[in-house]
A and B are shown apart, each in its own frame.
Chain A
Amino acid sequence: MARAVTTQRKTINTIVAWGIGLLIFFPILWIIILSFKAEGDAIKTPIEVLSSAWTFENYGVVQERSDYSKHFFNSVILAFGSTVLGLIIAVPAAWSMAFVPSKRTKDILMWMLSTKMLPAVGVLYPIYLLFIRLGLLDTRFGLVIVLMLINLPIIVWMLYTYFREIPGEILEAARMDGATLWSEILYVLTPMAIPGIASTLLLNVILAWNEAFWTLNLTAATAAPLTAFIASYSSPEGLFYAKLSAASTMAIAPILIMGWFSQKQLVRGLTFGAVK
């Protein structure tokens, strides 16, 4: 801004912004509030809800029944497993594309991104069939592979952009200083790329955690992560608002926290660099 902003204007901005922000955030806030209320209170009018007693019982109930922790554990394995596996495959690929580019590098990169745009439903049955044949249906291993494959383009892409930001001259200097390819990667490239790798890990763990197509269709009792588990609440019996809230809060809390740190990565990772 070119000139000093009046306090009055700043105050108005603040009030309007906070108001709209809270409005948008409200559903999440409501979930958290309801999770601490008794079921009978959860269905009352909002004012009554707020004035009723707080309780931890829902968290206890959800934990005990239906192996909540198992599904949580599955989410963790699927999200981190697929992302780490993806990183292992993507780091060498992104390295070679960023530092030894050829005429076809750009085309290959774009082709990789285009695989992410394949509608999942178009290949649903073949994958389903393959999974049955290979005995991968409802296995964590199978889901890790699938989630890795759908996020691989983004992982490669993000690492590529981070690697490109490393000044080429520094790697040349390492070469002049006598570093072999391996030394170059170990002592110079990786330390400089760690922030980029961490950011990529963060965003893709979030994307894998929230994935709700393959996790819904390829899992059942054993490998179902939280996405599928919550979906099972869609045909409940009896009062369940508070329990649903507790289950939801636990399911989304880790990601909300991680999401706070990953805003910049989101822009970089999902707009494929078209917006800076």
Chain B
Amino acid sequence: MATQHSRSAARLMMAPAVILLLGWMLVPLTMTLFFSFKKYLPLRGDSLGNGLDWVGFDNYVRFVSSSSFWPSVVTTLLIVGGVLVITVVLGILLAIMLDQPMWGQGVVRILVIAPFFVMPTVSALVWKNLFMDPVNGFLAHVWRFFGATPVEWLSQASLQSIIMIVSWQWLPFATLILLTAIQSLDSEQLEAAEMDGAPVTSRFFYIVLPHLSRATTIVILIQTIFLLSIFAEIFVTTGGAFGTRTLTYLIYQRVLESQNVGLGSAGGVYAIILANIVAIFLMRIVGKNLDA
């Protein structure tokens, strides 16, 4: 299929995409790296024009030794972990449910998938006000109906609230992926198991679940990458208060709120390294698939 003529044409056609992405990656990355080794507080008069002081690994050390660092790491792990557990477990159950014969399956699918398409700011604000508001929110009314005191979600159970909101948004994604995987399971395998005398639960644990393990891994890896950088939900509900400050949010605050660019950039480098580690695992699986 390939002759000399095609090859050079091909290289030319790839060029714009490659050059643009290369620029998009390299330019800001090098700048972030650059800033991370400098003292740069624009609000205090530092500017690129005046030249910035080199501080070596100072920012890196300060970022990690700051009292907000470890809490933010813990918060990040809790949120990501919490959402992963909820979306994967419920996702598998929902996927199985949607795979069953029923009437109006198409409509149920739409109902279950819908939350993913709601923009994060709408989702967060709606949950914060329409549902979680301790005075007028839907949940408050329900709690009062049963005679209990309404929970002050975002101030008392803020971490759980964020986890709830984000899980609601991402559950459809997990469900859809896992449903696709379940439907790709060859029914003949299950039939053979049935002929071999396996009851429903055994068939689930020995055939369905292993088949899903690959899809589950993908869901976990992809969601982790996106969940590490959730922003809008926190921005719009708590602004990082009440213990909901993730690593991403901490960096954001350092860079854009307190405007300590050097410190924030160092933090950014940490975040990039962390994301890359997860990405390496994901890319290995994707790579194997590309060969197929």
Contact surface of A with B, Cβ cutoff 8 Å:
1-2, 5, 9-10, 13-14, 16-18, 20-22, 24-25, 27-28, 30-31, 34, 42-43, 45-46, 89-90, 92-93, 95-97, 99-100, 102, 106, 108-110, 112-115, 117-130, 149, 152-153, 156, 168, 171-172, 181, 206, 209-210, 212-213, 216-217, 226-228, 230-231, 233-234, 240-241, 244-245, 248, 251-252, 255-256, 258-260, 263, 266-267, 270-276
Contacts and interface: CB of A to CB of B under 8 A. Distances in A.
B225 interface: yes
Interface string B258-287: 000100110011011011101100110111
Nearest to A264: B180
A83 B128 CA distance: 31
Contacts of A255: 117-119
Contact of B114 (A28, A109, A113, A126): A28
Q: What are the 3 tightest A-B residue pairs by CB atom distance, in nearest-first order?
A: A96-B10, A92-B13, A259-B117
Interface stretch (B55-63, B78-86, B134-142, B155-163): B134-142
Interface residues of B, number: 113
Contact of A216 (B32, B231, B268, B278): B231
Contact of A267 (B117, B141, B180): B180
A230 B121 CA distance: 6
A24 B2 contact: no
Nearest to B13: A92
Nearest to A88: B16
A256 B111 CA distance: 10
A93 B17 contact: yes
A106 to B, nearest CB: 5
Contacts of B208: none
Contact of A124 (B104, B105, B141, B252): B252
Given A45-B141, A231-B121, A255-B117, A119 B129 contact: no
B20 A89 contact: yes
B170 to A, nearest CB: 11
Contacts of B73: none
Nearest to B110: A260
B188 to A, nearest CB: 9
Nearest to A43: B136
A1 B187 contact: yes
B122 A17 contact: no
Contact of A275 (B181, B278, B282): B181
B88 to A, nearest CB: 14
Contact of B126 (A102, A126, A248, A271): A248
B238 to A, nearest CB: 10
A100 B125 CA distance: 48
A17 B105 CA distance: 8
B125 A231 contact: yes
B240 interface: no
Interface string B99-133: 01111110111111111111111110111111100
Contact of B103 (A10, A126, A231): A10
A13 B119 contact: no
Contacts of A18: 104, 108, 111
